[in-house]
Amino acid sequence: MKKNNTHIKPCQLTEEEMQNNELLDKISELSDRGQRTAWKRKQKNIEDLISSVEEIEDQLQTLQAKKLPLLDQVSSLRSEMVDTCIHPRELLVIHNNLIKCKFCEKVIRILNVEDK
């Protein structure tokens, strides 16, 4: 027995729509029942996996919302530290005859040839 997959009663369909439905039914019935069942099971598995991914994405969004205020605090503290940088020895580098602080990016001193 064939199922009519539309929600419209056959008497409400035009002749062309009925022919199209019959054609679609024939094509969808080319695979045997076992193949269709296996395919639908795989489709359900995909839907379940996507649902799991969506749950994880929701959790990630919650964590991201918790993370943002912390990053704002880090940024605020870093800005304050740049303004009051003490140029720690481990962050000073000599680059292109300049002494620079890697933390605040300030040039501390231009080296003369005799300074070396």
Which of 23, 17, 25 minimizes the C-alpha distance to 8?
Answer: 17
- Give the model's pLDDT for residue 82: 96
Three-state SS at 56: helix
Q: What is the CA radius of gyration of the chain?
A: 34
Of the ranges 10-14, 29-33, 58-62, the best mean pLDDT one: 58-62
Residue closest to 8 by CA, chosen among 21, 26, 27: 21
pLDDT at 5: 52
Cα–Cα distances (Å) from 80 to 67, 70, 73, 75, in that order, read 20, 15, 11, 9
